[in-house]
Amino acid sequence: MLYPQWLGLFITAFLAATILPLSSEVVLTALLLDGQPPLLMVLIATAGNVMGSLTNYALGYFANEVVIKKWLRISDVEFSRAEQRFKRYGTWALCLAWVPLIGDPLTVLAGVLKVRLWWFLLLVTTGKCLRYVVLTYMVVGLW
């Protein structure tokens, strides 16, 4: 049975992974404190957040560079620097896709640079899931 609050968590996690200023952690915490099953909540939040990052990746992959610069509100110089940093630190930086302010541009840039999709999904999912696991542990302890 699908509960509305579970769908709400998925949607919030999805939107929070885009450039919208939302916090899926607040919704997850509220649901955990309400007694919702921790493992299921982590899975739902992770799935929604990864889908949002995948949307960013697709935007970067299919949009041209001019559109991406306008969307991210960055100059040619800033874009070039971001691209150089991404290439220097490698795709491992995608484990940090959950970090505010840098996560969304990272996932868009991964699309622009045509990072292999399976590698993108593995790293982004790992980082986002671990973040939710740590938060859940902090809220309700070991499930």
Residue-level pLDDT at 116: 95
Residue-level pLDDT at 75: 84
Q: What is the pTM of this model?
A: 0.88
Residue-level pLDDT at 76: 84
Q: What is the pLDDT along the chain (143 residues), one digit of tens a residue?
A: 668 999 999 999 999 998 777 889 999 999 999 999 999 999 999 999 999 999 999 999 998 777 877 777 778 888 888 788 888 877 888 999 988 878 888 898 899 889 999 999 999 999 999 999 999 999 998 66
Residue-level pLDDT at 90: 73
Residue type, 4: P
Taken in order 129, 17, 49, 139, the sign of the CA dihedral is positive
**What's the rounded Cα separation, in Å, for the pair 74 and 126?**
28
> Mind giving me the DSSP string for 70-124?
HHHT--HHHHHHHHHHHHHH-GGGGGGTTSTTTHHHHHHHHHHTT--HHHHHHHH
Maximal CA-CA distance, the chain: 50
Tokens for 45, please give them.
Answer: 């939040």
Residue ranges per structural domain of the chain: 4-140
